Amino acid sequence: MGNQNSIDRKVKEWLNEPYDIETREEVKRMIKNASADEITDAFYKDLEFGTGGLRGIMGPGTNRINKYTLGKATQGLSNYLKKSFPDTDISIALAHDNRNNAREFANIVANVFSANGIKVYFFEDLRPTPELSFAIRHLNCQSGVMLTASHNPREYSGYKAYWSDGGQVVSPHDKNIIEEVNAIENVDAIDFVGKPELIEFIGEEIDRAFLQKVSEASVYPEVCKKQSDLRMVFSPIHGAAVDMVPKAIQNAGFKALHLVEEQCTPDGDFPTVIYPNPEEEEALTMAIEKAKEVDAELVMASDPDGDRVGIAIKANNGAYKLLNGNQTASLLFHYVMNGWKEKNLLSGNEYIVKTIVTSQLLDKMAKEMGIQCYNTLTGFKFIGNLMTALECKEKFLVGGEESYGYLIGDHVRDKDAVVSCALIAEMAAWYKEQGKSLEDGLIDIYQQYGFFKERLISFTKKGPQGAQEISDMMENFRSKPPQSIDGEEVVSMNDFLNGFEKNLTTGVKTKLDFPKSNVLQFVTASGCMVSARPSGTEPKIKFYFSVNTPLDDKSDYEETEAMLETKINRIAGEMGVS
């Protein structure tokens, strides 16, 4: 944490040239109106260009998203691109979502890239993140940037950096870019004067190509036509999927899609929700009300940048039931894998990918169907990186993570709410064709493979003190791992930071073949698992709980679910994180 003298020095610097007059006036207003803590938080450190880019609160200051922190990130990325592709006419794709100041920030980024002699393919208006990933691949770009803060609160913005494969940057590029960004010591090193002749606006042509690839991911296209009257509701929650998702669903042949009109106007203030996050029950409130009005069987809502989707289904008792990310993944993965199997499309070379904190039910399903299941660290960039490594060697079917991000087909290297919504709608139609609901489908899966129940509990710890608290919690679990979970012996601890799996009975350590990451997992003999990790994008520490038991009879579904829920409650309380 920077000391007060350092903070005062930075504030003084921002009150003078070369910072522009608008920025200087903003700093003056901050000094006049903000609390000492707010000023400290804005200047106590430099906003870190992390392994995925930038994310932070908008406003003046070294620890905020603004013209200068975005300019520094773009200048550093430009410098690295020129070193990485010395004899190439470098090009990048650029897009933004509906965040406040998004277009202004995107213009700044376009100008810095073009000032450095880099061609910019700039989307004419907001677009979902997966389409940015697609455009990089489609246009043979060397990199790309998406201006978004994903599902963070309205005061946030962000900057995601992508590489030539269409995936978010990973090692060694991430660390090398960070070095280039950190090497920029003052704003005079940033070239903000753009070259308009190097900026080309793109739009409809990329839309058509992207939607064509989404259509090709279909498993049972014939079912969509038969069940074209399937009633469903979609909300983009004021975000960037407002056009692409409805077009994808209509292209599939569905004719009874109802939109939550109040949430179809792009708006960075997100006036109809508390948080623009489809993981939150409150964010789907208006969509579920619309579903009741039109008697829909399926509800879907995407986050602001259109890469994640949350759903609610009409349960067998007539009420609308929210599914968590693991439940949706279980249905979707099973639908895709089973469809390929039923249509005799499997050659033995197919695979699925999930993250280490996503339901182990997916591993079990894949194993029983003879399909390879790979696990990666948390973050879809690791799934995308694996897809690139296996390209032309193995066939990717579906990937996903418990945080509501999924991908079907290999047209992009990031999670994609557009193709996910299209396939979830198709999946609902497939079950309806068989006289079943999506709830029936989930119960069938549990009966066949075991009832897996998961829950995420997270704690927000803001500021430098919060960061220290999170660090202390992780160190405490690392040095004093739990010996038992709900009365069952913990047999192993996976320490992804130090790169080993430790048998807690014998003390034997085995190397983990993963990049280093601050994640801990504790596993019992029955497969009960607790994982802990600090968030990479928010001031949070997250705990993931996973328990399972057989489901012998469908009539035991509700009782078994309640029993597993109670078990998670006991474990969370036992570990002091309830």
How far is C-alpha 201 from the geometric centre of its chain's CA atoms? Answer: 26
Q: List the structure tokens of 27.
A: 């700093």
Is residue 174 within 8 A of residue 517, CB to CB? The reply is no
DSSP 48: P
Is residue 166 within 8 A of residue 133, CB to CB? The reply is yes
Active site annotation includes 150: yes
Cis peptide before 172 (omega within 30 of 0): yes
Of 91, 143, 150, 164, catalytic: 150
Dihedral sign for Cα atoms in the order 187, 190, 191, 194: negative
423, burial (CB in 10 Å: exposed 0-12, middle 13-18, buried 19+): buried
DSSP per residue over 212-278, as a string?
A: HHHHHT-S-HHHHHHTTT--EEEE-TTSTTTTHHHHHHHHTT---EEE-GGG-S--TT-TT-SS--T
Report CA Rg, the chain.
24
* Phi-psi group of 217: left, alpha or beta (phi > 0 → left; psi -120 to 50 → alpha; rest → beta): alpha
DSSP 318: S
DSSP 299: E
Helix (H) or strand (E) holding 149: none
**Residues marked as catalytic:** 150
